[in-house]
Amino acid sequence: MLDLSNKRILVTGGAGFLGKQVIKQLIQTGANLDKITVPRSSECDLRQLDNCQQAVLEQDIIIHLAAHVGGIGLNREKPAELFYDNLMMGTQLIHAAYQAGVAKFVCVGTICAYPNFTPVPFKEDDLWNGYPEETNAPYGIAKKALLVQLQSYRQQYGFNGIYLLPVNLYGPEDNFDPRSSHVIPALIRKVYEAQQRGDKQIPVWGDGSPTREFLYSTDAARGIVIATQLYNDSEPINLGTNYEISIRNLVELICELMEFEGEIIWETDKPNGQPRRCLDTTRAKEYFGFTAQIEFKQGLKNTIDWYRKNPS
């Protein structure tokens, strides 16, 4: 097991929703807070190579969480930005880390990299068996290219880079901005605001038939830190719960937990997104002993409670 106590660790995206949890997990695992660096996007634009080169200097481990990411609305609105920003951040950071002699690079990818029609549950070996769902493709392919880069750098240079594929994340401090949020925070905010206005209906995109899997942010962070300590191979690894729920059932559960009794209006002219998402989590359990711990309903309650105290 990699001893983190004396390691200099760069966490890109470390000030974000997942990043804060990763830093907490690192410290709980023995990392020294004084040796953890979090570059801020306002001061260190990782789309610029010189910033990447500066950021990785004298670091032992890079955990790359930074991403330009959002829900289906943002994916439709800004596909070019999502492709360019994520590809340039990742590929230049990996190259700079290799050049600087960084000992380990942990790259956090995305479930959006999987083909649109992947047999469920998604196995890592199916990653290349088709094109991603169209609205996710620019983001998903940009992130998937980083897996190829890490594998090729390992093959040619012996560079120790690992690639993790977390399923959709949720939890307190998530992004609740309706222009860019994912489905759970978007729905929680929608129900909350309907309650504040006294509305008797809420509109929801699609027909409710797609299924999704969700991983609580502290579980995801724990999985990332365990992999940082224990995993040193080229194969991508899913991080998830192996629990699948339909969007219809998700909406009904959020309404139940928030005590909203109004009508749900399904906007069937809006896109559904990928038909099903659920991960095979066997490899993470076998390779480094990771299994999720937070039960989904409890995680939703925690997220709802946080948002009610911090409405935006």
Q: Which residues are catalytic?
A: 139
306 labeled binding residue: no
For residue 172, what are its two tokens?
A: 């307190």
Q: 18: Cβ–Cβ under 8 A, 6 or more apart, which residues? A: 65, 108, 169, 217, 220, 221
168 labeled binding residue: yes
DSSP state of 309: H
For residue 33, what are its two tokens?
A: 């807070």
Going from the C-alpha of 263 to that of each of 136, 160, 259, 304, the distances in angstroms are 29, 52, 12, 20
138 labeled binding residue: no
Please report the beta strands in the chain, taking only residues with DSSP state E, as ranges in sequence order.
9-12, 36-37, 61-64, 104-108, 161-166, 168-170, 201-205, 211-212, 214-216, 237-239, 245-246, 263-267
For residue 106, what are its two tokens?
A: 């942990």
274 SS3 class? coil
182 labeled binding residue: yes
167 labeled binding residue: yes
Going from the C-alpha of 221 to that of each of 11, 131, 187, the distances in angstroms are 12, 28, 23
70 labeled binding residue: no
**Residue 303 CB neighbours (<10 A):** 24
143 labeled binding residue: yes
117 labeled binding residue: no
Q: Angle 226-148-168 (CA atoms, 0-180°, nearest 5)?
A: 50
For residue 258, what are its two tokens?
A: 């928030």
223 labeled binding residue: no
7 labeled binding residue: no
Could you tell me if 266 and 208 are in contact, meaning their C-beta atoms sit under 8 angstroms apart? yes
Bind-site residues for NADP(+) = 13-19, 143, 166-169, 182
Bind-site residues = 13-19, 143, 166-169, 182, 190, 205, 212
Bind-site residues for substrate = 190, 205, 212
